[in-house]
Amino acid sequence: MVGKEGKEGKEGKEGKASKLSIQLKTPKGTRDCEFLEARWSDKIFKEITEVFKRHGGTQLDTPVFELKEILAGKYGEDSRLIYDLADQGGEDCALRYDLTVPLARWLAMNSSVQHLKRYHIAKVYRRDQPASRMREFYQCDFDIAGTYDPMIPDAEILRIIVEVFEALGLRDDITIKLNHRKILDGLFAVAGVPEDKTRSISSAVDKLDKLPWAEVKAEMEEKGLAPEVADKIGEYVKLNGGKDLLETLKADAHICANEDVSKGLEQMELLFRYTDAFNVTDKISFDLSLARGLDYYTGVIFEIVTALSPPDDFAPSKKSSYKPKKSGDNDEDRSDDPTLGVGSIAAGGRYDNLVNMFSKKRQIPCVGISFGVDRIFTIMKQRLEKQQKEGTAVVRSSEVDVFIMAFGGKGFTGLLPERMAVANQLWEAGIKAEFAPSVKPRLPQQFKLAEAGGVPLAVILGEDELAAGNVKLKILGLPEGHPDKEGSLVSRDNLPAEIKKLLATLPL
Amino acid sequence: MVGKEGKEGKEGKEGKASKLSIQLKTPKGTRDCEFLEARWSDKIFKEITEVFKRHGGTQLDTPVFELKEILAGKYGEDSRLIYDLADQGGEDCALRYDLTVPLARWLAMNSSVQHLKRYHIAKVYRRDQPASRMREFYQCDFDIAGTYDPMIPDAEILRIIVEVFEALGLRDDITIKLNHRKILDGLFAVAGVPEDKTRSISSAVDKLDKLPWAEVKAEMEEKGLAPEVADKIGEYVKLNGGKDLLETLKADAHICANEDVSKGLEQMELLFRYTDAFNVTDKISFDLSLARGLDYYTGVIFEIVTALSPPDDFAPSKKSSYKPKKSGDNDEDRSDDPTLGVGSIAAGGRYDNLVNMFSKKRQIPCVGISFGVDRIFTIMKQRLEKQQKEGTAVVRSSEVDVFIMAFGGKGFTGLLPERMAVANQLWEAGIKAEFAPSVKPRLPQQFKLAEAGGVPLAVILGEDELAAGNVKLKILGLPEGHPDKEGSLVSRDNLPAEIKKLLATLPL
């Protein structure tokens, strides 16, 4: 139950005006998630969890902070975004930056575990600078660890991605951008990138979804690449498509002479065979410009982008709808790409050596996906608000089904113990019920409370009816003249059963 | 899916043995919650959430850290247990210590909210010293904010406490220790405690569940109380009982001359009337020794204790079962009290002035309860493990219902695309399914994987059967000679429906 009165604004206005020196706000980059939004988030988590469980996922819940040395050296340039805990004596700790490194730490600690499908839904922490960026946000991760025949778990992860967005009603709105680190690294080698520059050039390529080619090329030259080497890279990273692109690359003898490229292409071919069996190949765009920032990926990498306009919170200066480019598309200006400043709504890949960074004796290959739920949420929210307005979906902030009221003439006592006893009877039957927390509430006040909570049913107590063992049960909000408007008398004993019968007929 | 092989131990043994300098462990006072435990925790959270929703609760999710000044001055001596974030530029922040202060901060910020029933299930952080104490643990909070007629929300909180433990199957094992700050403060005044010592003497009394009276008395004298004043307090704080104690105190003209005492007793009388209507008076022990450490309580206070033996993690040196003392019981040795070193499994009270500490213009009374889920969990775990052993409850670490296998003679291809396609068919029907992630798995290996996951059903593909559009469906783990042991042939098209029918007959 939430009751607001008057027209006073929220958002800490009073706090700011207060003479106390305390600033009434949440820390920068964090927010309170309230009521209806929390219920919507729960709905999304539940849908995603269902998919994870359907694929044999089990839950692993790790602490919100880790020893600092566990996180050290895992995030490249972004390590500066890690939140440290203060030194108050004892161990040096830091808030988790993602859910992947804690999983790898766990796998290193539990060396008897040879196979694992685990999911984890929790908040992660990044001291990101742009004002609009959240510094605390949810991730939903699913990872498959263990040695299997090639590309089988990779394909299942892609299937899970599609199933999650299917469950959220967004299947038609997403594209999985897919690439392979081996292909990318091999192409760099063919183009003439020195081996020690592979990762830094890769991170330049990764900016192609935010910057035009000219700027990315400039960065490559700054990083010490000859312009003609950069141009060679440019020829390839502009390519994207589906299985057709795979065929084009396989026919390119020059690049296929490189062992990494040919190995990567072979794996991609196998992967497409499996995504065919899983019926998700249509959602994949093989995109050579996808590089992913993190160092630890070793195989397939993917990012999920959406054609839906990004929410204001994450909006770039320009908005437009995203169209996956066709193979060979030469458009260098990507400023109309909604991923500009928005980022992907899910991302992941294969990381076969991360666990080994923690324990030299332990080698357990992994592949996983991380859903950025807050971004998905803002997209879903627009949709849910629209449905709410249209009346095609009803999401109430509380879930109370019955409001228990009392009325009476002169000498009316308020029937509080009686209302409490009826509430008790309903609670014991598992029915969600409330009553006005006053000794002698007026009837209009009780209706107002029920209405404010969107409660669908009322049980009304009157002294005469109670004496005869009856109460009135009615549906709230029916129009005048509706045959059920007046409700009906029900015996106290049958009340829970009658309520359950009535609730089953309502569109809740 | 979790697969462990060999007999190698866990708990970071390999990590410790590793030559890397990285310590493979979670920070002190934190732990990983794994698989089966995570599922059990989820079950408990779900039960508790159901009760909260039944009473009109809505969810409010606040950030894991708050501005430091929000937490300052709220926790008395325990403020030293707050985890600070490091100063990395920007605001001074600290991890939340409980879920109550963030709620009060939110209520101060949102001044248009006049009534609220909110719940919040999340981890809180305390730099507690004893080796066995957790520093990161879950709390489940339910609070009612707003001005109502006296004691109605207080009684509903007590009802919620009983309902939660009822839902967890622990109703018979708990006692709600209940007291009223006004009565306690008034008694102190009557005994001759100077007003400025009220809170510090109160915190001494609060130790009575851990220390014998002699030690508590010594602390009072150290805090500057005359021995005869302490003895007078001693006479009262040894009292506990039910409504009978209320009558005893009401008949004591000496203490009832104090306005706080008489006001407090009047409220307690009203409260007992309402708990009668809610049918929970039998669970209440009115206990004058209950004081609660936190400064901010202003009315009723309560702590829930259990007769169940505490788990080893929280065990004191001596264990025995707790018997609520009868009114007038003179036993000063409380060393056999399981709350010694264990603490309560839930606690709460009324705090009418906390929001006002944030915003002078805002006065919104609150009452709430906080469930210590980790402690409840360790009790439930013993019970669930026992049921699991007895076979009266089955909780599998993963929820997979179907394992898809293939077999064949000479030239067996492994039927991987076919197994994938069947998995896909089942996933699309919402059925939880897995298959061996190998191109050509041997049949015994597939049965082993299914068995390890406790999967109840198998779908077995053979080339001849597939060619005829059929697969075999069988229940796993049936004894030899059982009429259904061999399973039956089912058409591919009917497979999802047949599986759902079969699952409905199994005790899962």
> Across the interface, do A148 and B437 touch by the CB < 8 Å criterion?
yes
Q: Distance between CA atoms of B459 and A502, rounded to whole angstroms?
A: 41
> Across the interface, do A87 and B83 touch by the CB < 8 Å criterion?
no
> Across the interface, do A67 and B27 touch by the CB < 8 Å criterion?
yes
Residue B395 has pLDDT above 80, yes or no: no
Q: Work out whether strand A113-125 and strand B2-4 pair parallel, antiparallel, or are unpaired.
A: antiparallel
Query: Residue A501 is encoded by which pair of tokens?
Result: 């019968």
Domain topology for B402-505? Rossmann fold (3.40.50)
Per-residue HEC secondary structure of B202-233 comes to HHHHHHHHCCCHHHHHHHHHHCCCCHHHHHHH
Residue A223 has pLDDT above 50, yes or no: yes
Residues of B within 8 A of A146 (CB-CB) are 3
Confidence tier at B341 by pLDDT (50, 70, 90) = very low
| Cross-chain CB nearest to A18 (options B91, B153, B361) | B361
Angle, in degrees to the nearest 10, between helices A416-428 and B259-277? 50
pLDDT in tens, A240-285: 998 999 999 999 999 999 999 999 999 999 999 999 999 999 999 9
Q: Distance between CA atoms of B218 and B233, rounded to whole angstroms?
A: 13
**Tokens 């992860």 map to which residue?**
A157
Helices (H), A350-494: 354-358, 373-390, 416-428, 443-452, 463-467
Q: What is the pLDDT of residue A410?
A: 86
Residues of B within 8 A of A105 (CB-CB) are 24
Confidence tier at B1 by pLDDT (50, 70, 90) = low
CB B471 within 8 A of CB B426: no
3-state class (DSSP) for residue A447: helix
Q: What is the pLDDT of residue A422?
A: 97
Q: How many CB pairs under 8 A join A and B?
A: 341
Q: Tell me whether B429 touches chain A (CB under 8 Å).
A: no
pLDDT in tens, A55-109: 999 999 999 999 999 999 888 778 899 999 999 988 999 999 999 999 999 999 9
CB atoms within 10 A of CB B166: 18
Residue B63 has pLDDT above 80, yes or no: yes
Q: What's the average model confidence in pLDDT over B194-204?
A: 89
B296 is in an annotated binding site: yes
CB A291 within 8 A of CB A182: no
* Ranges in chain A annotated CATH 3.30.930.10: 35-387
Residues 179-198 of A with CB under 8 A from B: none
| A129 φ, ψ (degrees, to nearest 5) | -85, -45
Q: What is the pLDDT of residue A340?
A: 32
Q: What is the pLDDT of residue B10?
A: 43
| Cross-chain CB nearest to A437 (options B6, B33, B149) | B149
pLDDT in tens, A290-345: 998 777 899 999 999 987 755 444 333 333 333 333 333 333 333 333 333 345 89
CB A351 within 8 A of CB A296: yes
CB atoms within 10 A of CB B123: 21
Q: Tell me whether B400 touches chain A (CB under 8 Å).
A: yes
pLDDT mean across residues, chain B: 87
Q: What's the average model confidence in pLDDT over A358-371?
A: 93
CB A1 within 8 A of CB B110: no
Residues of B within 8 A of A24 (CB-CB) are 105, 108-109, 358-359
CB A304 within 8 A of CB A379: no
Instruction: Give the minimum alpha-carbon distance from B150 to chain A in angstroms, rounded to a whole number.
Output: 8
Q: Tell me whether A105 touches chain B (CB under 8 Å).
A: yes
Q: Tell me whether A315 touches chain B (CB under 8 Å).
A: no
Distances (CA, A) of A14 to A31, B60, B118: 18, 20, 21
- B114: burial class by Cβ within 10 Å (0-12, 13-18, 19+)? middle
Residue A373 has pLDDT above 70, yes or no: yes
Confidence tier at A469 by pLDDT (50, 70, 90) = very high
CB A154 within 8 A of CB A116: no
Residues of A within 8 A of B153 (CB-CB) are 437
What angle (nearest 5°) sits at the alpha carbon of residue B173, between those of residues B167 and B177? 100
**Rg of the Cα trace of chain B?**
29
Residues of B within 8 A of A19 (CB-CB) are 360
Q: Tell me whether B46 touches chain A (CB under 8 Å).
A: no
Q: What is the pLDDT of residue A395?
A: 66
Residue A166 has pLDDT above 90, yes or no: yes
ipTM rounded to 2 decimals: 0.85
Q: What's the average model confidence in pLDDT over B92-117?
A: 95
Residue A428 has pLDDT above 70, yes or no: yes
CB atoms within 10 A of CB B231: 14
Least confident of A132-136, A342-346, A368-372, B230-234: A342-346
Residue A15 has pLDDT above 90, yes or no: no
Distances (CA, A) of A278 to A151, A154, A158, A266: 13, 12, 9, 19
Q: What is the pLDDT of residue B176?
A: 96
Q: Work out whether strand A402-406 and strand A457-461 pair parallel, antiparallel, or are unpaired.
A: parallel
Q: What is the pLDDT of residue B387?
A: 81
Distances (CA, A) of B95 to A27, A45, A72, A106, A432: 11, 24, 21, 24, 34
pLDDT in tens, B26-38: 999 999 998 888 8
Q: For chain B, give the percent of residues with pLDDT over 90.
A: 68
Q: What is the pLDDT of residue A39?
A: 84
> Across the interface, do A149 and B439 touch by the CB < 8 Å criterion?
yes
pLDDT mean across residues, chain A: 87
What does the DSSP 8-state code read for residue A274?
A: H
Task: Pick the closest to residue A125 from B60, B71, B86, B109 (CA basis).
Answer: B86
Least confident of A424-433, B85-94, B157-166, B331-340: B331-340
Q: For chain B, give the percent of residues with pLDDT over 70.
A: 88
Instruction: Give the minimum alpha-carbon distance from A278 to chain B in angstroms, rounded to a whole number.
Output: 6
B97 is in an annotated binding site: no
Residues of A within 8 A of B65 (CB-CB) are 27, 30, 136
Pick B350 or A293 by higher pLDDT: B350
Residue-wise DSSP of B18-54: SSSS---SPPTT---EEHHHHHHHHHHHHHHHHHHHH
Q: Distance between CA atoms of B404 and B415, rounded to whole angstroms?
A: 11
> Across the interface, do B59 and A39 touch by the CB < 8 Å criterion?
yes
| Cross-chain CB nearest to B27 (options A58, A93, A273) | A93
Residue-wise DSSP of B413-453: ---HHHHHHHHHHHHHTT--EEE-SSSS--HHHHHHHHHHT
Confidence tier at B213 by pLDDT (50, 70, 90) = very high
Q: Distance between CA atoms of A495 and A429, rounded to whole angstroms?
A: 10
Distances (CA, A) of A89 to A173, B25, B83, B127, B459: 50, 18, 11, 10, 57
Residues of B within 8 A of A60 (CB-CB) are 32-35, 38
Nearest CA in chain A to B104: A24
CB atoms within 10 A of CB A242: 18
Q: What is the pLDDT of residue B181?
A: 95
CB A31 within 8 A of CB B63: yes
Domain topology for B35-387? BirA Bifunctional Protein; domain 2 (3.30.930)
Residue B303 has pLDDT above 80, yes or no: yes
> Across the interface, do A32 and B62 touch by the CB < 8 Å criterion?
yes
> Across the interface, do A15 and B432 touch by the CB < 8 Å criterion?
no
Distances (CA, A) of B498 to B135, B394, B477, B489, B502: 49, 23, 19, 10, 6
CB A173 within 8 A of CB A241: no
Query: Residue A74 is encoded by which pair of tokens?
Result: 């895992």
**Which residues, in sequence order, are bridge partners of residue A356?**
none
Residue B322 has pLDDT above 50, yes or no: no
| A410 φ, ψ (degrees, to nearest 5) | -60, 140
**Tokens 């219920």 map to which residue?**
A39
pLDDT in tens, A473-504: 999 989 999 999 999 999 999 999 999 999 99
Q: Distance between CA atoms of A126 and A2, rounded to whole angstroms?
A: 32
* Ranges in chain B annotated CATH 3.40.50.800: 402-505
Instruction: Give the minimum alpha-carbon distance from B323 to chain A in angstroms, rounded to a whole number.
Output: 28
Q: What is the pLDDT of residue B379?
A: 86
Chain B contact probe: residue of A115, A133, A269 with most B CBs at under 10 A: A115
Q: What is the pLDDT of residue A339?
A: 33
Residue-wise DSSP of B64-131: SEEEHHHHTTSSGGGGGGPPBBP-SSS--EEE-S-SHHHHHHHHHH-TTEEEEEEEEEEEEE----ST
Pick B332 or A11 by higher pLDDT: A11
Confidence tier at B23 by pLDDT (50, 70, 90) = confident
Confidence tier at B2 by pLDDT (50, 70, 90) = low
Q: What is the pLDDT of residue A332?
A: 33
Q: What is the pLDDT of residue B317?
A: 33
CB A60 within 8 A of CB A113: no
3-state class (DSSP) for residue A123: strand
Q: Tell me whether B456 touches chain A (CB under 8 Å).
A: no
Q: Tell me whether A410 touches chain B (CB under 8 Å).
A: no
CB B338 within 8 A of CB B309: yes
